Amino acid sequence: MTRKCYVTTTIPYVNAKPHVGFALELVQADALARYHRLLGRDVRLQTGTDENALKNVLAASERGVATQHFVDDNARAFRDLCPALGVAPDEFVRTTEPRHRRAVERFWQRLRADDIYRKKYTGLYCVGCEDFVLERDLVDGCCVDHGKPPVRVDEENYFFRLSTYQSQVEDLIRSDRLRIVPQTRRNEVLAFVRQGLQDISVSRLAARAGGWGIPVPGDPSQVIYVWIDALINYVSGLGFGTSDGWDEYWNDDTLKIHVMGKNVWKFHAVYWPALLLSAGLPVPDVVAVHGFLTQNGQKISKTLGNTIDPVDCVREFGLEAVRYYLLRAIPSFDDGDFSTERLKGVYNADLANGLGNLVSRLTTLCSRAGFCCYVGAASPAAPEGYHEAWSRYEYDGALAALWKLITVVNQEIDRAAPWAALKAKDPGSVHGHLERWLGVLHSIAYWLAPFVPRASQTILEMLARDPIVPSAPLFPRLVYLQ
């Protein structure tokens, strides 16, 4: 129980402003961190930005600005997204920071010497993909995903002997020492590993990278492959390579959780553990993979720029509404749709009519009945199914467990009809009921903290008041005229 916990998001590349897809990841990771904190654990939450990608260089040059300027600008937008969503990371890593660069160099040097070798490589390289593509996959000579022609590349790169780690990685996953959630994703990773791991290229010609990126130690003609560089943020942010006490949150007694989208599990569940094994460092414990968001049913595309700005959305509906929507109405692991229409619907049904209205009716009843000072347990029992859902990383499930109680209390109030006793001038007879209902509300509010921390705090404060007074609407109902 005294275990420490380390939660990370992936670090998005900053060639554009953040969209709701990343907001989902940030909010999931934040809720996870808050949940473990609520359980009394020593938790560290980290996010950041991946700035060494060649894509950033290209995006900057398209706009005619210096790359550093460009990434500084966009990194700020990502950093600002945190407070907008009520997320307070303990660390925000930018991969262009000197401390990260040093960490990457040290990490590279720490890899088993045998695991790194040089090999000649030739192929067509798509800058958008940051990867090699095949001729027959091209349409009109262009990459299907990026609409641009790839460049012919003939160069010698450094390779990492990933193949050596196949059975070790497979064992980690099979034994759940490295747990991959959900299960379907775990099956997918295992199938991938079993089909055989090829060694991977871990550097690029510096000239082709536009001089951007972290040079290979001892060979400035090469820069480290951006994915390797990016993964190392999980330890560089802790001080790896720059601080002696860096492993306070990266050791076998810390529950290390990486939260990410379904497109990057290969890097986190396969490459990263192998690299860590090679470097003689502990591997992560959990790889939690979420799905993708569509927007009004359409694929979100950074390049098309058809994206809802999460900050605008927060401005319109409030950060708690956006957090709630992302955690409740989006399946924890599958793809989901983000639409403001649905957001409004969920807000009114669950937050305004559900939680908010229950708080209103209870505080008013207390006030009328002259019920003062509710004293609850410091840490009330969680509703049935709540912790179980968390153990499966099912955010929506944990919230469903809480909302079930809201319905129960509403039903009980209706059945008990306390207003009748109040009219009969017998307020004392409803105190027993109120005591129970406030107890349930207290539990709801307490365990709601990971999801909607402000509402949780507000309700807990209302309950602690002496006397309890009628409250203003917690989540005012949204009314829209057609």
Partner RNA sequence: GGGCUCGUAGCUCAGCGGUGAGAGCAAGGGACUCAUAAUCCCUGGGUCGCAGGUUCGAAUCCUGCCGGGCCUACCA
Region binding RNA by CB under 7 A among candidate stretches 18-26, 33-41, 153-161, 260-268? 260-268
Among residues 335, 384, 388, 426, the one that binds RNA under rule CB under 7 A: 335
* Smallest distance from RNA to CB 252, Å: 29
> d(Cα 102, Cα 240) in Å, to the nearest integer?
9
Among residues 210, 217, 345, 380, the one that binds RNA under rule CB under 7 A: 345
How many other C-beta atoms lie within 10 A of the C-beta of residue 454? 14
* Smallest distance from RNA to CB 238, Å: 27
Among residues 31, 327, 352, 452, the one that binds RNA under rule CB under 7 A: 352
Among residues 331, 380, 385, 427, the one that binds RNA under rule CB under 7 A: 331
Query: Is the dihedral angle over the CA atoms 121, 122, 128, 133 positive or is it negative?
Result: negative
Q: Which residues in 176-195 contact RNA (CB under 7 A)?
A: 184, 187-188, 191-192
Among residues 122, 163, 198, 243, the one that binds RNA under rule CB under 7 A: 198
Does position 356 bind RNA by CB under 7 A?
Answer: yes
**Are the C-beta atoms of 241 and 103 separated by less than 8 Å?**
yes
Task: Identify which of residues 157 and 236 has a Cβ nearer to RNA in the complex.
Answer: 157
Among residues 4, 110, 266, 465, the one that binds RNA under rule CB under 7 A: 266
* Smallest distance from RNA to CB 18, Å: 18
Using CB under 7 A as the binding criterion, the count of chain residues that bind RNA stands at: 52
Query: How do beta strands 293-295 and 298-299 pair?
Result: antiparallel
Q: Which residues in 122-141 contact RNA (CB under 7 A)?
A: 134, 137
Region binding RNA by CB under 7 A among candidate stretches 34-42, 61-69, 248-256, 364-372? 364-372
Q: Which residues in 398-427 contact RNA (CB under 7 A)?
A: 407, 410-411, 413-414, 417-420, 422-423
Among residues 32, 180, 226, 359, the one that binds RNA under rule CB under 7 A: 359
Task: Identify which of residues 70 and 158 has a Cβ nearer to RNA in the complex.
Answer: 158
Cα 191 to Cα 147, 210, 285: the distances in Å are 31, 37, 20
Does position 435 bind RNA by CB under 7 A?
Answer: no
Task: Identify which of residues 166 and 353 has a Cβ nearer to RNA in the complex.
Answer: 353
C-alpha triplet 91, 292, 179: angle, nearest 5°: 65
Does position 348 bind RNA by CB under 7 A?
Answer: yes
Task: Identify which of residues 43 and 231 has a Cβ nearer to RNA in the complex.
Answer: 231
Region binding RNA by CB under 7 A among candidate stretches 90-98, 110-118, 350-358, 444-452? 350-358
Residue corresponding to tokens 């396969």 = 270
Does position 342 bind RNA by CB under 7 A?
Answer: yes
> d(Cα 72, Cα 331) in Å, to the nearest integer?
33
Does position 73 bind RNA by CB under 7 A?
Answer: no
Among residues 72, 91, 170, 337, the one that binds RNA under rule CB under 7 A: 337
Q: Which residues in 289-318 contact RNA (CB under 7 A)?
A: 292, 299
> d(Cα 433, Cα 418) in Å, to the nearest integer?
8
Does position 37 bind RNA by CB under 7 A?
Answer: no
> d(Cα 399, Cα 408) in Å, to the nearest integer?
15
Does position 343 bind RNA by CB under 7 A?
Answer: no
Does position 166 bind RNA by CB under 7 A?
Answer: no
* Smallest distance from RNA to CB 348, Å: 6
Q: Which residues in 367-386 contact RNA (CB under 7 A)?
A: 368
- Written as one letter, the residue type at 76 is R
Does position 476 bind RNA by CB under 7 A?
Answer: yes
Task: Identify which of residues 183 and 243 has a Cβ nearer to RNA in the complex.
Answer: 183
Task: Identify which of residues 340 and 357 has a Cβ nearer to RNA in the complex.
Answer: 357
Does position 336 bind RNA by CB under 7 A?
Answer: yes
Does position 469 bind RNA by CB under 7 A?
Answer: no
> d(Cα 209, Cα 100) in Å, to the nearest integer?
18
β-sheet bridge partners, residue 340? none
Does position 228 bind RNA by CB under 7 A?
Answer: no
Cα 477 to Cα 117, 344, 347, 459: the distances in Å are 62, 9, 8, 17
Residues that bind RNA (CB under 7 A): 134, 137, 184, 187-188, 191-192, 198, 262-263, 266, 292, 299, 329, 331, 334-337, 342, 345, 348-349, 352-357, 359-361, 364-365, 368, 407, 410-411, 413-414, 417-420, 422-423, 470, 473-477
